[in-house]
Structure 1
Amino acid sequence: MAYTILIWSLISAILASILILASRIINARKNRNKTAVGFFHPYTNDGGGGERVLWCSVKAIQEENPDLHCIIYTGDHDATPQNLMARAIDRFGVKLLHPPKVVHLYRRKWIEESTYPRFTMVGQSFGSVYLSWEALCKFTPLYYFDTSGYAFTYPLARIFGCKVICYTHYPTISLDMISRVRERNSTYNNNTLIARSRWLSHCKIFYYTLFSWMYGFVGSCTHLAMVNSSWTQSHIEKLWRIPDRIKRVYPPCDTSGLQVLPLERPTESPNIISVAQFRPEKAHPLQLEAFSLAIRKLDADLPRPKLQIVGSCRNKSDEERLQNLKDKAVELKVDGDVEFHKNVMYRDLVKLLGGAVAGIHSMIDEHFGISVVEYMAAGAIPIAHNSAGPRMDIVLEEDGQPTGFLAQNAEEYASAILQVVWMPETERLKMAAAARRRAGRFSEQRFYEDFKAAIRPVLCHTDK
């Protein structure tokens, strides 16, 4: 008897929960704001290319349809309409027409990497659904715009009656990731223990395959998917299988502001700049190893280069990575030749770019590579990883002239660094000029034009 009562109590609790959830969704759909675009961007202080896309997207919608209100869903509790507007211009040079409204989220821990020591990818993905539930219950817009890559939130947004738009910088899982596990290569997302074990590798392949199927399903729920590169487009088309709803829109790069910088650079101590968030996939240790190797091979009578590592820290983990890099510089005995710049303002970044002869980038399968374009626009010769965006879209010949170098390991990066240092000034200026012309293809103005053309059919479609 007690067992039966327990079962019926459990069933009643489940039914009551379902009714409460359904009631919330029905009320949210009924009270949906039909003149608002909600931007799901939980980290509005990450300082990377994704944040630049956010502010340029807000500005583009404000220009395209002034009647639409832009709402930012953020987990940064100190964010206000005024300081976000100020941040957009101070950090990225993007001047919004008017301040966006803010909806604060208090469950961001559910998408933080530290919350999931194991099965991080699936944990963060399902955690994003919980976070978006909080967002949509607090404010339900007509248009739900994800600018951070949380595809698992799209079905929920559809249930709430939103039209879903996304700008995808990088697929949460890619076919390349599965291939690396199958080939048992050790990388930032496939640790050595798994790579060395055939059984663990098979288990991870199954996990990745199952996750890629789920990712394909949730991604297909979007009304419009904008992607940032040829590489990302190829993977998203294969995974989501909605080619007619996928548009390639190259990310906004500050080419106009950087192209006014003089190409001539100081030669007594050539600066090599690195611009990237302090995240594991950015492979900063490889840069330090390559720079150390180049220093050891440098002739004594040649000017000694300086490596300037510029990046932003989102959380404690990023701070720890930055400290580890400083320790590694000491270990490699190049700490006197390496500078670290954390969370710099946009104007300071421009100044650093304007003094660099080269820019180094080392992320494998970088979806696009805004920093690489910024190097080129500023007149710094790029030394980028030979994969994905840099190889397919950016570091290509312009008018028959080479625009930079591609590398894969410490030796190749060191060789490229030395080639730039040894390069005669006339040859460097010629390559830098070609790189600058190439960067013009990825201007902020080009982003606005392509972005507005992509969203226009969705925004003009009447709500049913």
Structure 2
Amino acid sequence: MIQNYEKAHFNVMANGFLIWALITAISASILKFALRIITRRRNRKRAVGFFHPYTNDGGGGERVLWCAVKAIQEESPDLGCVVYTGDHDASPQSLTARALDRFGVNLLYPPEVVHLYQRKWIEETTYPHFTMIGQSLGSVYLSWEALCKFTPLYYFDTSGHAFTYPLARIFGCKVMCYTHYPTISLDMISRVRERSSMYNNDALIARSIWLSRCKIFYYTIFSWMYGFVGSCAHLVMVNSSWTQSHIDNLWRISHRTKRVYPPCDTSGLQVLPLERPAIAPTIISVAQFRPEKAHALQLEAFSVALGKLDADMPRPKLQFVGSCRNKSDEERLQNLKNRATELNVDGDVEFFENVMYRDLVRLLAGAVSGIHSMTDEHFGISVVEYMAAGAIPIAHNSAGPKLDIVLEEDGRQTGFLARSVEEYADAILKIIRMPETERLKMAAAARKRAGRFSEQRFYQDFKASIRPILCHGSK
């Protein structure tokens, strides 16, 4: 009895000691964390830190980054500009040259660079399942690395990583963001509820009632979390009417939300002649090789259009122009090439990967039409670029192109909207068969419409939006 009592007493003492040690360790970690935050808050640098882990994606988001950096440099020359990037070969000089060569943006001076080494935690390949929540939580860890290395007075997210905003506020930063599209939207939840199979809703889930209900629950919880973290921003800039509607519904800070259309190179493209070479008409597609861009639909539509082409009509060409972010994009590009061979149109299709800006302008100058097929494209910079260059757009009948871009100008049609393969094919044929005088009139109207989305308009609206935050933060 005495031995059992002593043994029980020892176990209680041991467990108590372990609990005490655990509480002490947790308390020490919390204290260490708090002291580190306090130190970083006190040592904030008078600078704007741009959180943009991929500075080589080549898309519209990267253009916004460099234009935003330039706007800050012009508006507040005394503020430093720092770019957080996971591209280890990036340097102030290389990023400055990239901004000019790829996007035609001439920065006033090179930005500082803070290299991030934990970018794998925001890559979609890291999370085969529950990708959204995985990438979102991973972005918090990545921003912790960024803010510990350099704590700015202003934290500016240009990549849509809203889950980093509460952490940036804990570090004492004024949080600003440019949101291209919501991480989750009511449309996404509706598609799961309707059991529609798309790039963000696997066919296996779409076929199962039980799995669909589980995903609806997951999306609902995630949308609540997304709404909370997004509301932590001091200033939100959105790129379109569609994005603004969703962000207002989710974040509920409409008084701190401004619509600022993204910078499109309308001035540089508007000098191109509207007349096109009399040889085979060219249709161009400019977009990153990502799944949501639906390149396969364009290829299918082009094949259908060729099948319906009149014998006396010139045979058109289709040019895919885009960038690859990673191995998955490269595989997607190769699959597209293979599909062109299967459809027996590989001789009529050309692929251009990671082209320089001057080469993109040259390609746009020779196109009679530009095609874009992403469903719920938040804005559509490439659609505006088509219009500015004189290429008649064929865009998806949803979101940004439908609500903001491909609208009548002075009562004249500026392009075509489509949804299905057949509708895209019909639009292609209409443009090819269009008399030259009619095509020139539509192209001129489209070019005038594109002027509403110029870089000059972006700089004007962007500076007006950030001015109150910069003035308040400097006090």
Does residue 1:25 correspond to 2:37, yes or no? Answer: yes
Contact 1:308–1:339 (CA under 8 A) maintained in structure 2: yes
Any conservation in 1 of the 2:340–2:346 contact (CA below 8 Å)? Answer: yes
Matched to 1:169, the amino acid is H
Report the counterpart of residue 347 of structure 1 in structure 2: 358
SS in 1 for 2:472: coil
Say if 2:410 is the partner of 1:388.
no
Q: Report the equivalent of 2:26.
A: 14
Contact persistence 2:306–2:315 (CA under 8 A): yes
Work out the CA distance in 1 between the residues paired with 2:198 and 2:154. Answer: 37
CA distance in 1, matches of 2:314, 2:128: 45
1:243 aligned residue: 254
Query: Which residue is 1:372 aligned to?
Result: 383
Tell me the equivalent position of 1:68.
Answer: 79
1:3 Cα deviation (Å)?
Answer: 3.2
Cα deviation 1:266-308 (Å, max 9, x = unaligned): 2321000000001000001101111111111111221010000
Letter of the 2:33 counterpart: L
Q: Deviations over 1:420-455 (max 9, x none)?
A: 111111110010000000000000000000000000
Q: Is the 8 A contact 1:143 1:162 kept in 2?
A: yes
Q: Which runs of 4+ in 1 moved over 2 A?
A: 1-13
Q: Contact (CA 8 Å) 2:370, 2:393: kept in 1 or not?
A: yes
Instruction: State which of 12, 16, 39 in structure 2 corresponds to 1:4.
Output: 16
Give me the whole-angstrom Cα distance separating, in 2, the residues matched to 1:303 and 1:9. 80
Once the two structures are TM-superposed, the CA of residue 390 in structure 1 deviates from its matched residue by 0.0
Look up the match of 1:195.
206
**1:287-366 equivalences in 2 (<5 Å):** 287-366=298-377
Q: Is 1:427 paired with 2:402?
A: no
* CA distances 1:345-368 after superposition (whole Å, capped 9, x unpaired): 000000000000000000000000
1:224 has 2:235 as partner: yes
Identity in percent:
81
Secondary structure of 2:313 counterpart: coil
| Matched letter for residue 291 of structure 1 | F
Instruction: Please tell me whether the aligned partners of residues 174 and 473 of structure 2 are also in contact (alpha carbons under 8 angstroms).
Output: no
Cα distance in 1 for partners of 2:24, 2:429 equals 71
**Cα pair 2:389 2:447 within 8 Å, conserved:** yes
Residues in 1 aligned to 2:473 and 2:171: alpha-carbon distance in whole angstroms:
17
Q: 2: distance between equivalents of 1:318 and 1:416?
A: 28
CA apart distance, 1:6: 3.0
Rg bigger for which structure? 2
2:105 is the counterpart of 1:107: no
Contact 1:266 / 1:355 at 8 angstroms: preserved in 2?
yes
Distance 1:337 1:11 in 2: 69
Residues 267, 303 of structure 1: 8 Å contact kept: no
Query: Which residue in 2 is equivalent to 1:416?
Result: 427
Q: Distance in 2 between matches of 1:404 and 1:147?
A: 30
SS at match of 1:102: strand
Which structure 2 residues correspond to residues 448-463 of structure 1 after superposition, within 5 A?
Answer: 448-462=459-473
Count of residues in Structure 1 that have an aligned counterpart in Structure 2: 463
C-alpha separation in 2, matches of 1:150 and 1:456: 23
User: Which whole-Å deviations, capped at 9, do the CAs of 1:318-342 have from their partners, x for residues lacking one?
Assistant: 1111111111111111111110000
Supply the distance in 1 between the matched residues of 2:358 and 2:66 (Cα, whole angstroms).
Answer: 17
Other structure's SS at 2:338 match? helix
Give distance in 2, aligned partners of 1:324 and 1:27.
51
Q: Secondary structure at the match of 2:144?
A: helix
- Give 1:463 deviation, angstroms: 5.2
- Of 234, 254, 269, 2:280 maps to 269
How many Å separate the matches in 1 of 2:339 and 2:28? 56
AA at the equivalent of 1:54 = L
For residues 390 and 462 of structure 1, what CA distance do their matches in structure 2 show?
36
Note if contact 1:359-1:381 (Cα within 8 Å) is conserved in structure 2: yes
Deviation at 1:57, TM superposition (A): 0.3
| Per-residue deviation, residues 22-73 of structure 1 (Å, max 9, x unmatched) | 121111001111x200000000000000000000000001000000000000
- Of residues 242, 254, 264, the one that matches 1:253 is 264
Tell me the equivalent position of 1:155: 166
Deviation of 1:9 (Å): 2.8
Aligned to 1:441: 452
Task: Name the SS for the 1:461 alignment partner.
Answer: helix
